[in-house]
C-alpha cells in the first residue's frame, strides 16, 4: 500500500512559463528504496521539492496516506512526514553530531550514530572536525531519528568517494528495509540506481519506470 502518491501532478515555473513536469502519476511505498535518475536540468530537484512541499504543483495533487498535503498544510507535511538528506549535509556546524540529532528528537542517543558507522568518541566532536562521509552519516542518522515515514535524499553521495558511497547506499537501503521507511533518492550515481528496489527516470518531463 502506498504512503506517498502523485496524482496527475504538473509543474510550470510561473515567472518563465517553462513546464518542468507534465501530468505525472506515481505511487511510493514504505519499506522500499527508490532512485530517481535523469539528465542535468531534467527537473529532478524540482520533483523532490514537490514531494517535500517546498514547491507547489501547478495542477494535480500530492497525497500522504490519502490526504492532500496542500490540505494538511505544507509546513505540517515537512515537519511530520518528511526527513530530508542533502548533498551538502545541512548540519549545524557549531554543534556535535549528537546535538544535531537532538534538534530533531530530544531522546536521540549515540546508538543511532554507531549504527551509522561512527565511533563512540565522534558523537561529542564538533561537526567541522568530521569528514564528508562522516557528516553524511550524521545527516542520515538525523533523518532516522525523525518519526517521519518518508526520507527524501538529494544526491546524498555526490561529494563522496567510491568506498564511502557504497557504505552510504547500504545505510539508505537499511533505512528502507529494516526501518520500514519510504526512501527516495535523486541521483546521478549508477551505483545508487543499481542498488535501488525501483528506479524511475525523469524523461520528457515525466517519470518513467526503468
**Is 164 within a domain?**
yes
In the prediction, which pLDDT does 49 show?
A: 95
**Is 22 within a domain?**
no
In the prediction, which pLDDT does 1 show?
A: 78
Domain of residue 163, CATH code: 3.40.50.300
Range of the domain at 88: 31-43+74-209
**Is 26 within a domain?**
no
DSSP summary character for residue 57: -
Model-level pTM greater than 0.85? yes
Bridge-based pairing state of the strands 182-186 and 33-37: parallel
- Per-residue pLDDT reduced to its tens digit, 175-185: 999 999 999 99
**Is 5 within a domain?**
no
Q: Into how many domains does the chain fold?
A: 1
**Is 54 within a domain?**
no
Q: How far apart are CA 201 and CA 142, in angstroms?
A: 28
**Is 177 within a domain?**
yes
What the block records as the C-alpha cell of 114 is 554507531
Is the distance from CB of 100 to CB of 134 less than 8 angstroms?
no
**Is 118 within a domain?**
yes
Is the distance from CB of 72 to CB of 64 less than 8 angstroms?
yes
Give Cα separations from 5 to 57, 109, 164, 176, 182 (angstroms): 13, 33, 32, 17, 12
User: How many residues are there in the chain?
Assistant: 210
- Per-residue pLDDT reduced to its tens digit, 61-105: 999 999 999 999 999 999 999 999 987 888 998 999 999 999 999
Residue 113, SS3?
helix
**Is 21 within a domain?**
no
Q: How far apart are CA 181 and CA 11, in angstroms?
A: 26
In the prediction, which pLDDT does 121 show?
A: 86
| Low-confidence residues in the chain, pLDDT < 50 | none
Amino acid at each position: 500500500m502506498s504512503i506517498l502518491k502523485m496524482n496527475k501532478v504538473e509543474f510550470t515555473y510561473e515567472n518563465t512559463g517553462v513546464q518542468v513536469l507534465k501530468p505525472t502519476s506515481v505511487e511510493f511505498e514504505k519499506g522500499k528504496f527508490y532512485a530517481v535518475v535523469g539528465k542535468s536540468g531534467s527537473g529532478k530537484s524540482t520533483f523532490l521539492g514537490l514531494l517535500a512541499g517546498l514547491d507547489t504543483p501547478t495542477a494535480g495533487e500530492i497525497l500522504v496516506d490519502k490526504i492532500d498535503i496542500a490540505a494538511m498544510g505544507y509546513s505540517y507535511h515537512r515537519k511530520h512526514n518528511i526527513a530530508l538528506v542533502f548533498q551538502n549535509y545541512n548540519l549545524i556546524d557549531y554543534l556535535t553530531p549528537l546535538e544535531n540529532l537532538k534538534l530533531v528528537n530530544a531522546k536521540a542517543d549515540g546508538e543511532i550514530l554507531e549504527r551509522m558507522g561512527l565511533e563512540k568518541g565522534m558523537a561529542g566532536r564538533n561537526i567541522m572536525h568530521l569528514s564528508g562521509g562522516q557528516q553524511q552519516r550524521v545527516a542520515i542518522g538525523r533523518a532516522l531519528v525523525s518519526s517521519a515515514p518518508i526520507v527524501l535524499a538529494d544526491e546524498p553521495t555526490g561529494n563522496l568517494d567510491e568506498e564511502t558511497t557504497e557504505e552510504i547506499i547500504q545505510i539508505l537501503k537499511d533505512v528502507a528495509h529494516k526501518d520500514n521507511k519510504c526512501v527516495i533518492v535523486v541521483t546521478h550515481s549508477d551505483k545508487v540506481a543499481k542498488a535501488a528496489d525501483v528506479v524511475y527516470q525523469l524523461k520528457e518531463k515525466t517519470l518513467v519506470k526503468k
